[in-house]
A = this chain, B = another copy of it.
């Protein structure tokens, strides 16, 4: 067959790049587990009526058909999931009797959307979701928990650029608009959402002409949207606008609690802002809303979003409220990998190449490799008994830092030496005990945007 060409929107990674993705996924999983979240996977497909339940045709669902289906026009009735929230809500209902609530779960899986591919938007992509779902009720402190867990995870992804988490609360916005006497709250939110595309004056015009607000009301809405604080001081700023409503009070209290709860976690890697201009998602969620920007990649949009659903799932008798957040793993990583910002220090896991003297002694080289593996050292044996110079080049091309040689003295005694091919240093070593320096044991993720920092925790 001729050389195949890539499929647009279905990014695939070379081994040294897949290693970066795997490291990121491992870090996410490790963090989520430290916080008591159980990992699940759901099947790739959902019944079409589930996928289209909320009229989500904009998600460009891929429908499945069995090739052998006798009626060629007949679909199988299932399609690929376009996110991990719809499958999770279904999983909760299906297994409610077997789960303990509140149920904390993480899910790191692929999803598919048939939309037009562009940077950071793919037809196949990996998401990492965490959610906490309760039965009947779910205390607000879980909103704080979800934010702190994701901040902890993003902080540990220290080879990535800095993240800025932006939070808002639907109760706050809805209470403010209602207290102000604005009739159609959803309509106001929809117009305010245009602030990042239109000049303020144009948005004000729409609020007056289309939504029917007075000039004063429009000014108040615009004033609310300018409030951005890195602590709970937004409360005073909102109070100064003089609007009062019970729902506004509730929203202010929740968002303030969230900001205070997250404050101890802020680092130079992850910041958090109460940003009252955030409107996107407010018509899906019922309280807290999260969005996240990646420093230097703001054009990617929000790479980590979520919020509170008062009814994540319901079977008519029981309602399951939930709060969650979803990190777009592919959306963050694939552009950085394609730009050459992120790569691994080698294309194979092997820390050592065991050289082969000749094919007759391959078993001795295999035995050395087995001894190294017993100490957890990834290694491989040279494919051919070429000249040692060629075997060193073989290691170099893969980025393997060490080459292991056996030597035979004139008295016929077998000795072992290991060479760091980066420095040329060659020392005697015992395969039963030798291990490489910790930083050479596994491939390292290299990042050109900044100096990767050392992990604070070494328990993985």
Contact B61 A62 (CB under 8 A): no
Contact of A62 among B34, B40, B64, B363 (CB under 8 A): B64
Q: Given the known A-B contacts A12-B91, A35-B380, A73-B73, are A18 and B40 also in contact in the complex, defined by CB atoms under 8 Å? A: yes
Contact of A124 among B11, B45, B102, B375 (CB under 8 A): B45
The answer to whether A235 has its CB under 8 Å from any CB of chain B is: no
Once bound together, how far apart are the Cα atoms of A10 and B79, in whole Å? 13
Contact A14 B95 (CB under 8 A): yes
Say which size band chain A's interface belongs to.
35 or more
Contact A67 B114 (CB under 8 A): yes
Interface hits, A308-323 → B, CB 8 Å: 313-316
Once bound together, how far apart are the Cα atoms of A129 and B38, in whole Å? 26
Contact B76 A68 (CB under 8 A): no
Interface hits, A344-381 → B, CB 8 Å: 347-350, 359, 362-363, 373-381
- How would residues 62 to 95 of chain A score, 1 for a CB under 8 Å from any chain B CB and 0 otherwise? 1111111000110110111000000000110111
Q: Given the known A-B contacts A12-B91, A65-B75, A376-B457, are A139 and B39 also in contact in the complex, defined by CB atoms under 8 Å? A: no
Once bound together, how far apart are the Cα atoms of A35 and B3, in whole Å? 29
The answer to whether A15 has its CB under 8 Å from any CB of chain B is: yes
Closest to A109 in B: B110
Contacts of A145 in B (CB 8 A): 381
- How would residues 386 to 423 of chain A score, 1 for a CB under 8 Å from any chain B CB and 0 otherwise? 00000000000110000000000000000000000000
Query: Which interface residue of A3, A41, A53 has the most chain B CB atoms within 10 A?
Result: A3
Interface hits, A101-136 → B, CB 8 Å: 102, 104-105, 110, 112, 114, 124, 134
The answer to whether A6 has its CB under 8 Å from any CB of chain B is: yes
The answer to whether A451 has its CB under 8 Å from any CB of chain B is: no
Q: Given the known A-B contacts A35-B373, A40-B18, A347-B100, are A67 and B90 also in contact in the complex, defined by CB atoms under 8 Å? A: no
Given A4-B94, A5-B94, A15-B105, 6 new contacts (CB under 8 A): A12-B43, A43-B124, A62-B65, A64-B65, A100-B398, A376-B459
For the complex of A and B, list the 5 residue pairs with the smallest distance between their C-beta atoms, beginning with the closest. Answer: A376-B459, A36-B380, A15-B38, A66-B114, A36-B350
